[in-house]
Structure 1
Amino acid sequence: MTDSADSPSFRLAYVPGVTPAKWVRIWEERLPDVPLTLLQVTPGEAADVLRDGGADAGLVRLPVDRTVFSAIPLYTETTVVVVPKDHLLTAADEVTLDDLADEVVLHPLDDVLGWERLPGEPAFERPATTADAIELVAANIGVLVVPQSLARLHHRRDLTYRTVVDAPRSGVVLAWPEEATTDLVEDFIGIVRGRTVNSSRGRAQQQTQPKSEKKREPRRTAAGRTTGGAARGRTGGPRSGGAKGAGARRGTGKPRRRS
């Protein structure tokens, strides 16, 4: 969020599993005078934080309210099932939802996959968080289906995961309030879209543009004529060439006798 014109700053919210490090590094290289503050929020908090001005933009999971927020899709995650390392499902590299039919599938309250119908057998109660569900998996209470980044975030040595090929998948987007598209938001959009410094529509390009236009202006002489190759071409060449041509025309008479 921009505190003032003299001391700008940028706040970026992000949800668990999303790694903004590469974009933050590019920001620091391009805008070293504008501090970027990271704010981790839960998926349920993200919309309110952006709407209330707690952050300028956010790396969040779909869905987002497109009547309020603008959003740029970034990527869609692979979905995996987290199981103990000695579980039967580890015998295959990939599994399907049908393979989970006889499993107790945990469904935490902060689930981000938006199931229409949860596979497997329901647990006795829903864990409050994904972290709580991971603990239950480690205790052999059930299995957990999550985006791959969350399985990595909650990695444990006694657990592993396998890809679920036909499960819902989670999309990650850059979102911000549509009515608050500031210059700094435009700068960050350019970074996540992979624009170079020269192709960016940010403030850096706008500051250098007048200089580029000045270089392209043709130079003018004191008499107001434009200099350049085309102008020289209209003069008929240098004067020395014209004098040489005149001498050649005068040489059409008889040669003078030598004394």
Structure 2
Amino acid sequence: MDADPTPGPSFTIAFVPGVTLAKWSKAWQERRKDLPLAFAPTAEADAVGVLHDRKADVSFVRLPVDDTDLSLIPLYSEVPVVVLPKDHDLSLAESVTVADLAGEHLLQDPDELPEWRDVAVEVQNGTRRPLPEMRSVEDAIELVAAGVGIVIVPQSVARLYGRKDVIARPVIDVAETRIGLAWLADETTPDIDDFVGVVRGRTARSSRAPQEEPEKAPPKERKPQQKPKAKPFTPRQGRAPKKLGKGRNRGRGRS
């Protein structure tokens, strides 16, 4: 029986929930047909660990993270939203504040959201209920649909785990989160440089290193311009003789 063929090289991208890679992966595949991509969906808690474990070449992380030994570039910000049951009183509002949510039960660690923690009734009164068992954000949103509590997450995450029985509304006074691209600083390879270039929008022709000027075509030889030939002089025909002015040459020849 023949042994399985050894898999070829690939470039592995880890990413946290809510990150969409379609635009960048398409640009990479057009530019680097020699190196296919592999994808590693990763929990936020493991987004840096996969780099140290050499399970990914780069990782899209949700900031802040421990950036020890990492190179890290921030990319874009995310709008925070609260996920509520569809029949919630706040479902009619276009946006909400943390004061509007002060009486709700947050299905998250309050320390992750200090804006809510500082006004929450159950925190101020010391009546905070223990959190039910949840393995993921998806589990938490399922509990929201059941009326157990609320969650505040980036809008991209709410869309990823969206359901027909919940709604999401922007929370205007909660700090935005950011997505960044991270990799091991001491293991920056030309492939990583290429991927960073794709993410930053550099074209295939651009590079960190200076490129040679393209060879210019030799200038076309210009032919000497010929002077126009002088036209031969021809007297005008039928030209009337000049008339003498009045009184000119009168009396000449008279005695």
TM range (shorter): 0.7 to 0.9
- Look up the match of 2:202: 195
- The equivalent residue for 1:125 is 131
| Aligned residue in 2 for 1:114 | 112
Of 148, 151, 161, which aligns to 2:168? 161
Map 1:220-231 onto structure 2 (within 5 A): none
What is the deviation of 1:64? 2.5
Q: Could you list the per-position Cα deviations for residues 159-191 of structure 1 after superposition, in whole angstroms to 9, with x for gaps in the alignment?
A: 111000011321100110111111111111111
Equivalence for 1:4: none
Which residue number corresponds to residue 151 of structure 2?
144
The question of whether the paired residues in 2 share the 8 Å contact of 1:49 and 1:55 is answered with yes
The offset of 1:118, in angstroms, is: 4.1
**8 Å contact from structure 1 (residues 82, 162) kept in 2:** yes
Q: What does 1:28-39 align with in structure 2 at a 5 Å threshold?
A: 28-39=29-40
* Matched residue SS, 1:106: coil
CA distance in 2, matches of 1:103, 1:55: 39
Matches within 5 A, 1:172-251: 172-201=179-208, 209=211, 212-213=213-214, 215-216=215-216
How far apart are the structure 1 equivalents of 2:170 and 2:28? 33
Q: Distance in 2 between matches of 1:190 and 1:64?
A: 22
TM-score by length of 2: 0.74
Structure 2 residue ranges without an equivalent (≥5): 1-7, 123-127, 228-255
Q: How many residues get paired?
A: 211
Normalised by the length of structure 1, the TM-score is 0.73
* Structure 1 pair 147–123 and aligned structure 2 pair: CA distance change class (3 A): farther
Preserved contact between residue 106 and residue 123 of structure 1 (Cα < 8 Å): no
**Aligned partners of 1:123, 1:134: CA distance in 2, in Å?**
17
Distance 1:29 1:70 in 2: 25
Partner of 2:55: 54
In terms of fraction of residues, the more helix-rich structure is 1
- Root-mean-square deviation (Å): 2.7
